[in-house]
Amino acid sequence: MLFKLLRRVSYKAGEVVFFQGAEPSHIYIIQSGRIKLVVGKDDTLFELVVFGQGDCFGETSVIGIQPHVATATATEDTELIVLSRQALLSIYKQDLELYSILLLNIAREACRRLHHSDEVLLHYALKK
């Protein structure tokens, strides 16, 4: 069931996948290539992370129903596997067990990233 809901999308180097502040519509998995997330604040850009093959992004915005906190841009030609928010909701309606497994894995990844962010913040806080 899940594989029928996924689709493949290609981006050329420099193409934007989504913009900071945009409403989330998809969860993205990188099949090949690289995606960087950049946050803009007061005309200053901060590169948050570069994702590579096998990484997932956009999931916390979709699950949290919040605008994207960063702009996602392909840094090289990139192939993505995408799952739309509507497809995710259809999984919820049709296969609650599969939906639960997906959400548990998304939550685990979000927790890992949050833990890493905490470590980075602590590093900078201790430098002062």
Domains, the chain? 2-127 (2.60.120.10)
- pTM beyond cutoff 0.75: yes
DSSP 65-119: T---SSEEEESS-EEEEEEEHHHHHHHHHH-HHHHHHHHHHHHHHHHHHHHHHHH
The alpha carbon of 94 is separated from its chain's Cα centroid by a whole number of angstroms, namely 24
Indicate the average pLDDT of the chain. Answer: 91
- How far apart CA 57 and CA 33 sit, in angstroms, is 13
Mean pLDDT of the region 20-44: 93
Q: What is the pLDDT of residues 64-112, one digit of tens each?
A: 889 999 999 999 999 999 999 999 999 999 999 999 999 999 899 888 8
Does position 114 have pLDDT exceeding 70, yes or no? yes
Residue 128 pLDDT: 61
Mean pLDDT of the region 42-60: 89
